[in-house]
């Protein structure tokens, strides 16, 4: 199946972006295009040149006209992910601080996109996320797990249906665009509301509720990614990547010696391979 990758980038992501881009070759299958949406074209263009990486660079103001409303980093990127029109209809949003250490399958059986989830005592569904889903879209959690894995495969037709749910619950008061009204509505909720909003969680539970056979669920494991939340030096980033790969190889050999069966994520991802 054909899809694009969309990477929303802020200035804080410039240091980690080269590692993120280089790791995308692990995506299987590889996307048709990689589109980087950023506030400043020139720095990202220079990064692409140094990485020898082929991607389309788009200024965020071309994706969402924020004139008159300002750029609130967290919510601004969420609006871009949901309302952008620069990718094909199937698109994988990839957070810039997420690095792949090994092969990563985008689709499962019958070419259904994989919808990855956390299911552990430290990754419980967030009550605030659930409240946002209900208030904004009228959706309740479809399953007892969280879908916030720093990436999401979107289908525009489902995104538009979800936005229609929002507009039915919160009709536009004037002729502003749907994107600007959604953004203004978020901004009106106040600073504390920002931690309650997850476009990934809302979309995942929406499709599980409304289109339960469109995706295939797959558990995400800690060694699937290297997640760089805070600013780190190149040496530290490379150490983290190398450490994760070494842990994967060791885990692979331990399980092989024990004769353990791999679950879907393990057997499909080619542990220790490119």
Residue 14 has pLDDT above 90, yes or no: no
Query: Is residue 122 left, alpha or beta, with left meaning phi > 0 and alpha meaning psi from -120 to 50?
Result: alpha
Residues 100-107 have a mean pLDDT of 89
Length of the chain: 274
Is the model's pLDDT at 66 over the cut of 90? no
State pLDDT tens for residues 35-65. Answer: 999 988 999 999 899 888 899 999 888 888 7
C-alpha pair distances (Å), 116 with each of 76, 86, 119, 217, 268: 24, 24, 10, 6, 14
pLDDT given for residue 139 in this prediction: 92
47/237: higher pLDDT: 47
Residue environment code for 10-41, b if the CB has 16+ CB neighbours within 10 A, otherwise e: beebbbbbbbbbebbebbeeebebbbbbbbee
The larger pLDDT score, comparing residue 264 to residue 127, is at 127
Phi, psi of 93 (to 5 degrees): -85, 130
Q: How many percent of the chain have pLDDT more than 70?
A: 75
Are 133 and 205 in contact, with CB atoms under 8 Å apart? yes
Interval 180-231: pLDDT, tens: 999 989 888 876 676 688 899 999 999 999 999 999 999 887 667 776 655 5
3-class SS string, the chain: CCCEEEEECCHHHCCCHHHHHHHHHHEECCCCEEEEEECCHHHHHHHHHHHCCCCEEEEHHHHCCCCCCCCCHHHHHHHHHHHCCCCCCEEEEECCCEECCCCEECECHHHCEEEEEECCCCCCCCHHHHHHHHHHHCCCCCCCCECCCCEEEEEHHHHHHHHHHHHHHCCCCCCCCHHHHHHHHHHHCCHHHHHHCCHHHHHHHHHHHHCCCCCEEEECCHHHCEECCCCCCHHHHHHHHHHHHHHHHHHHHHHHHHCCCCCHHHHHCCCCCC
Q: How confident is the model at residue 241 (pLDDT cuts 50, 70, 90)?
A: low
d(CA 164, CA 158): 10
CA dist., res. 232 & res. 234, Å (int): 7
CATH no. of 4-268 = 3.90.550.10
Name 272's Cβ contacts closer than 8 Å, sequence gap at least 6: 102, 245, 248, 249, 252
What is the domain partition of the chain in residue ranges?
4-268
- What's the pLDDT band for 92 if we cut at 50, 70, 90? very high
Q: Which of 4-13, 101-110, 262-271 shows the lowest mean pLDDT across its residues?
A: 262-271
pTM attached to this predicted model? 0.83
């Amino acid at each position: 199946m054909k899809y694009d990758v969309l990477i929303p980038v802020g200035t804080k992501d410039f240091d980690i972006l080269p590692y993120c881009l280089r790791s995308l070759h692990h995506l299987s299958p590889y996307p048709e295009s990689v589109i980087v949406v950023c506030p400043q074209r020139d720095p990202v263009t220079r990064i692409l040149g140094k990485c020898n990486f082929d991607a389309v660079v788009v200024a965020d103001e071309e994706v969402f006209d924020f004139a008159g409303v300002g750029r609130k980093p967290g919510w601004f990127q969420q609006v871009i992910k949901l309302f952008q029109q620069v990718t094909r209809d199937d698109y994988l949003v990839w957070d810039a601080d997420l690095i792949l250490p090994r092969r990563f399958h985008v689709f499962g059986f019958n070419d259904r996109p994989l919808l990855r989830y956390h299911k552990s005592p430290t990754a419980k569904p967030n009550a605030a996320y659930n409240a946002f889903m209900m208030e904004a879209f009228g959706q309740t959690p479809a399953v007892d797990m969280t879908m916030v894995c720093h990436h999401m495969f979107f289908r525009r037709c489902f995104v538009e249906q979800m936005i229609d749910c929002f507009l039915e619950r919160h009709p536009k008061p004037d002729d502003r665009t749907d994107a600007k009204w959604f953004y203004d509505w978020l901004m009106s909720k106040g600073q504390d509301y920002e931690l309650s909003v997850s476009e990934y969680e809302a979309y995942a539970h929406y499709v599980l509720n409304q289109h339960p056979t469109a995706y295939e669920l797959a558990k995400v494991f800690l060694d699937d990614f290297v997640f760089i939340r805070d600013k780190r030096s190149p040496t530290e980033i490379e150490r983290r990547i190398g450490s994760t790969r070494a842990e994967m190889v060791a885990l692979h050999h331990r399980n092989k010696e024990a004769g353990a069966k791999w679950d879907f994520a393990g057997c499909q991802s080619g542990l220790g391979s490119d």
